[in-house]
Amino acid sequence: MPNQYDVIVIGSGPGGEGAAMKLAKAGRRVLMVDAFHQVGGNCTHRATIPSKALRQAVQRLTECNAHNGARYPDLLRSAHSVIGQQVAMRSGFYTRNHVDVIHGRAVFVDPHTIEITTLRNMRERLRAEAFVIATGSRPYHPPEVDFQHPRILDSDSVLKLEDSPR
């Protein structure tokens, strides 16, 4: 992998992925850096895709009145299957468009250099003429809502439940 790129994109969610693909198709040498161990960002792994897949599974059960002992962990497995399909599809985008991918955290050293600490704690410095910072978002917690309450969940915490909600 070269140490010099035209553009380094930080964050592989929808914004970062879109930027990386457009730049690669325009002939730029592009690197994608993502802190997660798979591409897709929070949209794929924590928020939009998993919560929608979970909601769809619950709706199907409700519409069919087919609860048949279905438990929340079973529904989560279904959502994780959808996530796996999304990751495979997105990984293919990077491969087909010749975008290098490194999984780790990026820190700017100077305006044209970042240091990446990989998930294996290896460090590597890379340079680029330009950067796209697309590190995404996190769930909004309005101050008047007690998110410490066990019955109040956001898109991250709902995916961490181990037992069926009642």
pLDDT of residue 142: 93
Q: What are phi and psi of 106, to 5 degrees?
A: -105, 140
Residue 26 lies in a domain: yes
pLDDT of residue 67: 59
Residue 141 lies in a domain: yes
pLDDT of residue 68: 64
pLDDT of residue 69: 66
Sequence-separated (6 or more) residues with CB below 8 Å from residue 129: 5, 6, 7, 112
pLDDT of residue 37: 81
Question: Alpha carbon of 11 to those of 14, 100, 101, 120, 164: distances in Å?
Answer: 9, 13, 10, 18, 32
Average pLDDT, rounded, for the chain: 85
Q: Could you give the angle at the alpha carbon of 25 between the alpha carbons of 23 and 31, nearest 5°?
A: 45
Residue 22 lies in a domain: yes
Percent of the chain with pLDDT over 70: 87
Residue 109 lies in a domain: yes
For 123, the domain range is: 4-160
> Could you read off the pLDDT of 62-118 as tens digits, one per residue?
766 565 666 777 777 777 777 788 778 888 899 999 999 999 999 999 999 999 999
The whole-model pTM stands at 0.76
> Could you read off the pLDDT of 126-140 as tens digits, one per residue?
999 999 999 987 888
Least confident of 11-15, 40-44, 97-101: 40-44
Residue 64 lies in a domain: yes
Question: Alpha carbon of 92 to those of 31, 46, 74: distances in Å?
Answer: 15, 20, 28
Q: How many domains does the chain have?
A: 1
Other C-beta atoms lying within 10 Å of the C-beta of residue 5: 21
The stretch 10-26 carries a mean pLDDT of 95
Sequence-separated (6 or more) residues with CB below 8 Å from residue 149: none
Give the residue with greater pLDDT, 20 vs 92: 20
Which CATH number goes with the domain that contains 45? 3.50.50.60
Q: What are phi and psi of 38, to 5 degrees?
A: -140, 155
Q: Which two tokens stand for residue 158?
A: 């709902």
Contact 31, 100 (CB under 8 A): yes
Residue 150, pLDDT > 90, answer no
